[in-house]
């Protein structure tokens, strides 16, 4: 689990000075750190595969110390502001959910785990829950905070594609409500663990098949579990190539999500928080239906949310 030091807009050597604070996104399968200067500049990016899924509570502090070795102050404490699954009940220290409708929670609601070292002060930001239609997020609320910092007064939907895609209604600086779809996890399970693994095994892509599948399922969303088996039978009977079946699987699942959220994105602006091919696929699917979402970068939003929390912490 070696850390890597990125090239690009950051320096590729150890920083000349101690960072002023550290921004952290500690998810289920990864930890990302940004060593920050007070002026908002990223001095370094660090990455580790020691996500919540691999750690017991006593493993978090040593992992942070390992990654931050050589950058801790000689005296005083470095602030680490952290979002994500580190705050789950099974994480480092539980940061109880804020209840929507609410603004994305800030450092006043953060939990501070007890530490061995006096050289760190860690703030873990809570996730957000919704009681009426039970739902939860951890990490996405910080991306939303970053979006709101960059777009104050935004009134519309935010879509965060992923393993568990989120659609959040945002207004007056608050998350009013949200819905989670298992789109990404279903794609992974069906394409690697189900009978469809034999016919969707491809690195390729068929854009026309993706678009046709989005339209098919949006016209008849009840047919999802039936249309899925066509990705087994179609290749058997018609020689449908695997890149076509794979793109169609993606289109059926994303199209089903768009069918379920149709009222929202037809009535309101949509911003997509993402940067990879998945977010592009959502943007294309929405474009097919005549909607042009704003696309913003996940890292920028996460970091923007953590910077906003830092500003609140400094009062």
Residues lying near its own copies in the complex (CB under 8 A) are found at 97, 129-131, 133-136, 164, 179-183, 185-186, 189-190, 193-195, 220-226, 228-230, 232-234, 236-238, 240, 253, 256-257, 259-260, 262
CB 195 within 8 A of CB 313: no
CB 125 within 8 A of CB 145: no
Please return the burial class of 139, using the count of CB atoms within 10 Å of its CB with bins 0-12, 13-18 and 19+: buried
Indicate the residue among 25 and 257 with the shorter CB distance to its own copies.
257
CB 94 to its own copies: min, Å? 12
CB 128 to its own copies: min, Å? 11
Give the tokens for residue 8.
Answer: 């690009």
CB 66 to its own copies: min, Å? 29
Taking the mean position of all CA atoms in its chain, how far away is CA 170?
A: 17
CB 248 to its own copies: min, Å? 11
Indicate the residue among 68 and 256 with the shorter CB distance to its own copies.
256
Indicate the residue among 77 and 182 with the shorter CB distance to its own copies.
182
CB 268 to its own copies: min, Å? 17
Q: Where are the beta strands (DSSP E) in 4-118?
A: 21-26, 31-36, 42-48, 78-83, 98-99
Indicate the residue among 185 and 299 with the shorter CB distance to its own copies.
185
Nearby residues of 293 by Cβ (< 8 Å), 6 or more positions away: 159, 265, 269, 270, 271, 272, 282, 283, 286
CB 185 to its own copies: min, Å? 6
Indicate the residue among 226 and 290 with the shorter CB distance to its own copies.
226
289-202-49 Cα angle (round to 5): 90
Indicate the residue among 1 and 236 with the shorter CB distance to its own copies.
236
DSSP 115-143: -S-SSEEEEEPP-EEETTTTEEESSHHHH
């Amino acid at each position: 689990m070696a850390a890597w030091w990125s090239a690009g807009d950051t320096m590729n050597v150890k920083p000349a000075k101690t960072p002023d604070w550290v921004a952290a996104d500690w998810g289920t399968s990864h930890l990302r750190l940004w060593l920050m200067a007070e002026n908002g500049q990223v001095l370094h990016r660090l990455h580790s595969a020691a996500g919540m899924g691999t750690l017991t509570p006593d493993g978090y502090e040593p992992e942070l110390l390992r990654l931050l070795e050589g950058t801790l102050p000689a005296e005083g404490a470095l602030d680490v502001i952290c979002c994500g699954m580190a705050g789950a009940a099974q994480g480092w220290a539980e940061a109880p959910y804020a209840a929507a409708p609410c603004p994305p929670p800030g450092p006043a609601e953060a939990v501070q785990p007890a530490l061995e070292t006096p050289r760190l002060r860690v703030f873990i930001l809570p996730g957000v829950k919704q009681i009426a239609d039970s739902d939860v997020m951890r990490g996405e609320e910080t991306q939303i905070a970053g979006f709101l910092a960059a777009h104050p007064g935004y009134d519309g939907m935010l879509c965060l594609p992923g393993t568990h895609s989120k659609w959040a209604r945002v207004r007056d600086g608050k998350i009013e409500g949200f819905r989670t779809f298992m789109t990404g996890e279903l794609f992974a399970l069906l394409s690697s663990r189900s009978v469809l693994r034999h016919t969707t095994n491809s690195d390729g892509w068929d854009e026309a098949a993706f678009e046709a599948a989005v339209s098919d399922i949006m016209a008849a969303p009840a047919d999802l579990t039936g249309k899925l088996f066509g990705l087994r039978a179609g290749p058997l009977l018609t020689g449908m190539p695997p890149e076509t079946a794979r793109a169609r699987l993606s289109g059926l699942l994303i199209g089903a999500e768009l069918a379920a959220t149709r009222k929202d994105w037809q009535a309101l602006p949509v911003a997509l928080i993402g940067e990879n091919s998945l977010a592009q696929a959502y943007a294309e699917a929405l474009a097919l239906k005549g909607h042009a979402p704003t696309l913003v970068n996940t890292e920028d939003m996460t970091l923007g949310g953590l910077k906003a929390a830092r500003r609140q912490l400094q009062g």
